[in-house]
């Protein structure tokens, strides 16, 4: 099989990378007998490929129970066009043997097939990246982890994001619009599984990640199979996918390092925030009209776990404390200066992100705690509001009498 692919590459020079540069094709074709335009959606449009494909399929393709994409290619005169996971289907040169505009259809299908295979690669890269990153984070922030708290799909968001950043056009990371377009496409056809009642095993992350990887790769594989087997002009068929010609110019070039550098910082922020949620670490936020920053803490030697800033309206001060109920009898929660120190000095996460951010997120979501603002994915910018998200307690006047912990519990917070 491998030999076959290599031969195809050598003899026709239409392997993947050359498609990015249509001009590379010019030297191989006779421009008078087989005129072609650049591999773009405009060319697709100008040849009326959507209409051509629909009418051709209706008349010339006999619907079969499976392998309808192959039947389509065969009807064009290319019977050896086998797409699939870990397969490379090759459109060949224009007019050799498939004529224009049918050749554009095969190029688009070839590119779709490469795109799906690239997503499979991206899932593997994401899994490797997370499995390398998590153990260090766990040992820093969760040395005695509990394994039945964090829903597995929370970390599954990283895999979905990896799928969505596989470049739809151009190289990875060149345009932020890529994420949106990729995500719409991915969620439209791949649908990562829901993973209900499964939890992230913090003490053995590789097993957990393996479950996500398997589920996502199965979803991808069945999306490919469904498309290949569906009648080409049905709602799940290939005609719908290549419609419009976007896949003509598609080119996905990325390495493991590309995926890693795009996702690692956001993944780190997500993981730390999930670990804090698991330990019921929260932000105690206090507003003080008359106080000032020095007065608004009881000065227990707090350092990076504490931040006090003037209220933006200039009417007082707002202070923020990263804290945790340690069950002490005075009702005062524990100081988490050690964690705050690691966040700032080891992980480069600012006080603004981990102290102020969660409360801004709470406010922006009308007081709803721990909102998923990113629809099952994560943003690539690790400072995006709501990515670092933990419970927030707006400490009110009652705190003076009952202590912060009781006050927050009285408000219904599980701290």
DSSP state of 184: H
Using rule CB under 6 A, residue 177 touches ligand NAG:
no
Contacts of residues 334-340 at CB distance under 8 Å and 24 or more positions apart, as own/partner, are 335/300, 335/301, 335/302, 335/305, 336/281, 336/305, 337/302, 337/303, 337/304, 337/305, 339/141, 339/276, 339/281, 339/305, 340/303, 340/304, 340/305
Q: CA angle, corner 79, sides to 78 and 84, nearest 5?
A: 100
Determine the interface stretch with ligand NAG among 57-65, 120-128, 158-166, 392-400 (rule: CB under 6 A). 57-65
Using rule CB under 6 A, residue 37 touches ligand NAG:
no
User: Tokens standing for 147?
Assistant: 């394994």
Using rule CB under 6 A, residue 74 touches ligand NAG:
no
Paired strand residues for 96 = 93
Residues in 81-140 at the binding interface with ligand NAG, rule: CB under 6 A:
none
Determine the interface stretch with ligand NAG among 23-31, 52-60, 99-107, 319-327 (rule: CB under 6 A). 52-60
Taking the complex as a whole, how short is the minimal distance between the CB of residue 334 and ligand NAG, in angstroms? 25
208 vs 81, 214, 218, 274, 276, CA distance in Å? Answer: 37, 10, 16, 15, 19
Taking the complex as a whole, how short is the minimal distance between the CB of residue 176 and ligand NAG, in angstroms? 12
Using rule CB under 6 A, residue 389 touches ligand NAG:
no
Using rule CB under 6 A, residue 306 touches ligand NAG:
no
Task: Output 191 or 280, the one with its CB closest to ligand NAG.
Answer: 191
Paired strand residues for 324 = 334
Task: Output 13 or 253, the one with its CB closest to ligand NAG.
Answer: 253
Taking the complex as a whole, how short is the minimal distance between the CB of residue 61 and ligand NAG, in angstroms? 9
Among 13, 17, 180, 292, binds ligand NAG (CB under 6 A): 17
Cα–Cα dist 276/198, whole Å: 19
Using rule CB under 6 A, residue 218 touches ligand NAG:
no
Using rule CB under 6 A, residue 396 touches ligand NAG:
no
Taking the complex as a whole, how short is the minimal distance between the CB of residue 201 and ligand NAG, in angstroms? 26
Using rule CB under 6 A, residue 310 touches ligand NAG:
no
Using rule CB under 6 A, residue 375 touches ligand NAG:
yes
Cα–Cα dist 264/272, whole Å: 12
Alpha helix segments (H runs only) across 142-176: 152-165
Give CA torsion, residues 252, 255, 257, 262, to 10 deg. Answer: 10
Residues in 245-304 at the binding interface with ligand NAG, rule: CB under 6 A:
251, 253, 265, 287, 289
First to last CA, the chain: 59
Task: Output 145 or 249, the one with its CB closest to ligand NAG.
Answer: 249
Task: Output 9 or 149, the one with its CB closest to ligand NAG.
Answer: 9
Among 215, 245, 382, 403, binds ligand NAG (CB under 6 A): 382
Taking the complex as a whole, how short is the minimal distance between the CB of residue 106 and ligand NAG, in angstroms? 15
Using rule CB under 6 A, residue 32 touches ligand NAG:
no
Contact predicate 391/282, CB 8 Å: yes
Task: Provide the pairing of β-strand 306-310 with 391-395.
Answer: unpaired
State the residues that interact with ligand NAG by CB under 6 A: 17, 20, 54-56, 58-60, 171, 187, 233, 235, 251, 253, 265, 287, 289, 311-313, 315-316, 318, 348, 375, 382
């Amino acid at each position: 099989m491998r030999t076959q692919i290599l031969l195809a590459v050598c003899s026709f020079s239409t392997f993947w990378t050359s498609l990015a540069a249509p001009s590379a094709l010019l030297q191989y074709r006779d421009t008078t007998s087989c005129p072609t335009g650049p591999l773009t959606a405009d060319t697709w449009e100008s040849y009326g490929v959507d209409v051509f494909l629909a009418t051709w399929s209706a008349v010339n393709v006999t619907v079969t129970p499976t392998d309808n994409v192959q039947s389509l290619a065969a009807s064009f005169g290319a019977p050896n066009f086998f797409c699939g996971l870990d397969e490379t289907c090759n459109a060949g040169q224009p007019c050799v043997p498939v004529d224009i505009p049918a050749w554009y259809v095969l190029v688009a299908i070839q590119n779709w097939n490469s795109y799906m295979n690239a997503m499979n690669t991206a899932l593997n890269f994401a899994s490797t990246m997370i499995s390398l990153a998590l153990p260090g984070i766990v040992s820093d922030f969760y040395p005695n982890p509990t394994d039945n708290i964090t829903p597995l799909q929370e970390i599954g968001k990283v895999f979905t994001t990896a799928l969505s950043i596989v470049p739809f056009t151009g190289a990875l990371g060149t345009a932020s619009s890529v994420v949106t377009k990729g995500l719409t496409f991915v969620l439209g056809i791949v649908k990562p599984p829901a993973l209900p009642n499964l939890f992230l095993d913090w003490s053995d992350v590789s097993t957990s990640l393996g479950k996500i990887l398997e589920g996502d790769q199965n979803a991808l594989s069945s999306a490919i199979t469904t498309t290949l087997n569906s009648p080409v002009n049905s709602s799940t068929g290939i005609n719908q996918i290549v419609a419009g010609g976007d896949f003509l110019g598609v080119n996905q070039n990325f390495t493991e390092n590309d995926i890693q550098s795009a996702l690692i910082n956001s993944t780190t922020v997500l993981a730390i925030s999930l670990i804090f949620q698991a330990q019921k670490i929260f932000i105690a936020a206090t507003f003080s009209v008359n106080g000032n920053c020095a007065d608004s803490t009881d000065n227990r030697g707090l350092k990076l776990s504490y931040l006090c800033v003037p209220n933006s309206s200039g009417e007082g001060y707002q202070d923020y404390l990263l804290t945790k109920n340690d069950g002490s009898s005075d009702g005062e929660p524990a100081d988490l200066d050690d964690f705050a120190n690691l966040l700032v000095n080891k992980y480069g996460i600012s006080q603004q992100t981990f102290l102020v951010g969660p409360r801004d997120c709470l406010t922006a979501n009308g007081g709803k705690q721990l909102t998923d603002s990113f629809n099952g994915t994560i943003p690539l910018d690790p400072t995006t509001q709501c990515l670092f998200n933990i419970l927030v307690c707006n400490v009110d006047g009652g705190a003076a009498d009952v202590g912060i912990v009781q006050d927050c519990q009285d408000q219904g917070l599980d701290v």
